[in-house]
Structure 1
Amino acid sequence: MKVGEVCLFTKDVVRLANFYKSIFDIDNGCDDNIHQFIISEETSLSVYNDGVEREMNAQNICLAFTVDDVDYQYERLTTLGVKILEPPTIRPWGAKNMSFLDPDNNLIVFRSFLEK
């Protein structure tokens, strides 16, 4: 069994989708204001407005993405103006993590694993 899709519900699909397209350096060729696939490989990431009014970060979610080089991503996201909550930090379980919020205040973690 695999996770097929992670979907972020939002009232502003274009704003949130554009944020994810910029941090992942992806152009999905879409400006739909109801639904957008951002990542469509293996496990999909989509942004969707289902018409339900939600408070910011009412779902208490954290999305973690494994990247090749968290230090590089830290520098890149900083130049994009993303407000970093925690710079790259080595965790006891062997990951180097950094964290930041998306425009809807969902917690995002970029992580890389140290070579043994």
Structure 2
Amino acid sequence: MFLAEVCLLTNDVLRMAEFYKAVLNTTSDSDDEIHQVIPISGTGTTLTIYNDGKEKNNSNQNMCISFTVEDVDIEYERLKRLGVNIIEPPITRPWGARNMHFCDPDGNHIYFRSFSK
């Protein structure tokens, strides 16, 4: 068994999809206003952005998404150049992960992390 997809429900699919394509440094063939699928390179997992027609309050308090990256410090500099609002810059945690924290346009909490080799 493996995690195949994470789906984020939103009021604005285009804005969220563009944000994630930029942050994840990827592209997709999707440009739909209702449903977009963004493949996560090399994982077999996809991130889906979907508007199910119900108004969202963007009060997401119970989940976060973490992505393992090669070098969180390099990603930090790249995301700053993209204008991403960083909540916490890279910091090494007691368990060995070096991670940073930011939010997407709907307020979902996102972490990029890397592990020392």
The TM-score bracket by the shorter chain reads over 0.9
**Structure 1 ranges of 4+ moved more than 6 A:** none
RMSD between aligned residues: 1.2
Say yes or no: does 1:33 pair with 2:33.
yes
Name the SS of the counterpart of 1:54 in structure 2: coil
Aligned length: 115
Contact 1:60 1:106 in 2 (8 A): no
The separation in 1 between residues aligned to 2:61 and 2:8, in whole angstroms, is 10
Name the SS of the counterpart of 2:22 in structure 1: helix
Equivalent positions of 1:1-116 (< 5 A) are: 1-39=1-39, 41-58=43-60, 60-115=62-117
Q: State the TM-score, normalizing by the size of structure 1.
A: 0.93
The separation in 2 between residues aligned to 1:99 and 1:61, in whole angstroms, is 13
- What is the percentage of aligned positions where both structures have the same residue? 55
Paired amino acid for 2:93: R
> Displacement, 1:91?
0.4
Q: State the TM-score, normalizing by the size of structure 2.
A: 0.93
5+ residue gaps, structure 1, are none
> Displacement, 1:52?
1.4
5+ residue gaps, structure 2, are none
The separation in 2 between residues aligned to 1:103 and 1:32, in whole angstroms, is 18
